[in-house]
């Protein structure tokens, strides 16, 4: 059965790209979209930054037609600021607004935003209602299991936020206290999904990094879809591989060298178009090694790619890589 958020039809068992600060920008989203992701989010945007008109926050509002459906994610600690930020974000024309109640980072969570709202469900509920009332768009939420081991309250959080009108919930199977350590535990996510009161889609998030895991956890935890973050960094093919498996029951082979090279060219092009030549080239540097993970003797090429400042020179090295490794592949 197709999963729907408001009028947005995500198809059967959608795969979502997790919002990731400094990662899920338009160039990265472009390559994920090429690889079949069903729904994406911007990086999180500070509500305070938005209402102050800070350039960094504004820039994160950039979304493109081909990205739809896409959600803008906002966070904050003050309800009025969140209301105003919701109005600004809605004007940017996304398909939905997502609220971040999961960020564990100190200067977010310790300033009363992100995951810290998990310690004050009344305020979280009031904030969510304010956001829902401030926009004509569907509102979704991304959160964690709870603040720490003693307060895993996502079951109650899900009910209360559904009651004030959110239309989907993504749950990262860790507490705030866990940060990114240990393993994600999806048992509570299943409990939320099985709650007979819950009608909205529940998306599972945390540690999905292979086709096998996606297939096994889909069955075991009965979620409506899966959100993937870190495993897509340097490997956006994970979306097409999982989708292919669900459609055919067969495993796609991994990307060829030609595909790895092609994705570097595309990502670089998008990066330069969106950020300008200098920043675009510079920020692309951290991606090359990821796209060639597992390819032996890549280091020499990586060193070249991250030192060059001219687009033509970078393409020339990518040509070299194609020739060198395609021969080996054949």
Ligand X SMILES: Cc1cc2nc3c(=O)[nH]c(=O)nc-3n(C[C@H](O)[C@H](O)[C@H](O)COP(=O)(O)O)c2cc1C
Angle at 242 between CA 239 and CA 247, to 5 degrees: 120
Q: Which is nearer to ligand X, 123 or 213 (CB)?
A: 213
Residue 94 near residue 62, CB atoms below 8 Å: no
Q: What distance in Å separates the CA atoms of residue 74 and residue 63, rounded to the nearest whole number?
A: 14
The distance of closest approach from Cβ of residue 80 to ligand X in the complex, given in angstroms and rounded to an integer, is 22
Catalytic annotation on 110? no
Residue 104 contacts ligand X per CB under 6 A: no
Residue 285 contacts ligand X per CB under 6 A: no
Q: Which of 168, 208, 257, 268 binds ligand X (CB under 6 A)?
A: 208
**Where does residue 260 fall: left (phi above 0), alpha (psi -120 to 50 degrees), or beta otherwise?**
alpha
Q: Residues at the annotated binding site for FMN?
A: 73, 142, 172, 229-230
Q: What is the DSSP string of 44-79?
A: EEEHHHHHHT-HHHHHTT---GGG-SEEEEEE-S-H
Residue 102 contacts ligand X per CB under 6 A: yes
Q: CB under 8 Å to 90, separation ≥6 — which residues?
A: 97, 134, 135, 136, 137
* Dihedral sign, Cα of residue 229, residue 231, residue 236, residue 239: negative
Residue 43 contacts ligand X per CB under 6 A: yes
Q: What distance in Å separates the CA atoms of residue 183 and residue 240, rounded to the nearest whole number?
A: 25
Q: Which of 16, 74, 103, 261 binds ligand X (CB under 6 A)?
A: 103
Count of CB atoms situated within 10 Å of the CB of 312: 7
Helix, strand or coil, per DSSP, at residue 100: strand
Residue 205 contacts ligand X per CB under 6 A: yes
Q: CB under 8 Å to 234, separation ≥6 — which residues?
A: 287, 289, 290, 291, 293
The distance of closest approach from Cβ of residue 310 to ligand X in the complex, given in angstroms and rounded to an integer, is 29
Interface segment toward ligand X; rule CB under 6 A; list 187-195, 224-232, 239-247, 303-311: 224-232
Q: Which of 229, 234, 255, 280 binds ligand X (CB under 6 A)?
A: 229
The distance of closest approach from Cβ of residue 100 to ligand X in the complex, given in angstroms and rounded to an integer, is 4
* Residue number with the smallest Cβ distance to ligand X: 229
Q: Which of 4, 123, 230, 304 binds ligand X (CB under 6 A)?
A: 230
Residue 100 contacts ligand X per CB under 6 A: yes
Residue 178 contacts ligand X per CB under 6 A: no
Contact flags string 233-272 toward ligand X, x per CB under 6 A:
----------------------------------------
Q: What distance in Å separates the CA atoms of residue 198 and residue 323, rounded to the nearest whole number?
A: 54
Residue 172 contacts ligand X per CB under 6 A: yes
Interface segment toward ligand X; rule CB under 6 A; list 18-26, 63-71, 196-204, 292-300: 18-26
Count of CB atoms situated within 10 Å of the CB of 155: 17
Q: Which is nearer to ligand X, 210 or 307 (CB)?
A: 210
Residue 228 contacts ligand X per CB under 6 A: yes
46 backbone dihedrals φ, ψ, rounded to 5°: -70, 130
Give residues in contact with ligand X (CB under 6 A).
Answer: 18-21, 23, 43-44, 73, 100, 102-103, 142, 172, 205-208, 228-231
Residue positions annotated with a catalytic role: 103
């Amino acid at each position: 059965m197709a999963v729907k958020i408001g009028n947005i039809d995500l198809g059967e068992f959608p795969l979502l790209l997790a919002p990731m600060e400094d990662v899920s920008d338009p160039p990265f989203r472009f390559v994920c979209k090429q690889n079949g992701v069903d729904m994406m989010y911007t990086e999180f945007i500070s509500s305070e930054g938005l209402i102050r008109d800070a350039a960094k926050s504004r820039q994160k509002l950039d979304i493109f037609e081909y990205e739809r459906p896409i959600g803008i994610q906002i966070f904050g600690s003050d309800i009025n600021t969140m209301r105003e930020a919701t109005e600004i974000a809605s004007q940017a024309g996304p398909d939905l607004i997502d609220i971040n109640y999961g960020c564990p980072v100190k200067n977010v969570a310790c300033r009363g935003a992100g995951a810290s709202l998990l310690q004050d469900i009344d305020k979280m509920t009031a904030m969510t209602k304010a956001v829902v009332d401030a926009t004509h768009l569907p509102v979704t939420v991304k959160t964690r299991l709870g603040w720490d081991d003693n307060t895993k309250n996502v079951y109650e959080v899900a009910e209360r936020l559904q009651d004030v009108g959110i239309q989907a919930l993504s749950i990262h199977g860790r507490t705030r206290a866990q940060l990114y350590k240990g393993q994600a535990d999806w048992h509570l996510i299943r409990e939320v999904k099985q709650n007979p009161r819950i009608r909205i889609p529940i998306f599972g998030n945390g540690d999905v990094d292979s086709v096998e895991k996606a297939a096994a956890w889909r069955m075991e935890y009965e979620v409506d879809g899966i959100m993937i973050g870190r495993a897509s960094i340097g490997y956006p093919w994970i979306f097409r591989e999982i989708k292919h498996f669900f459609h055919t029951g067969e495993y796609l082979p991994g990307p060829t060298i030609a595909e790895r090279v092609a994705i570097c060219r595309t990502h670089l092009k998008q990066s330069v178009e969106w950020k300008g030549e200098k920043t675009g080239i510079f920020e692309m540097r951290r991606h090359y090694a990821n796209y060639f993970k597992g390819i032996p003797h890549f280091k020499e090429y990586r060193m070249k790619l991250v030192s060059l400042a001219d687009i033509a020179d970078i393409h020339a090295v990518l040509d070299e890589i194609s020739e060198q490794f395609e021969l080996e592949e054949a």
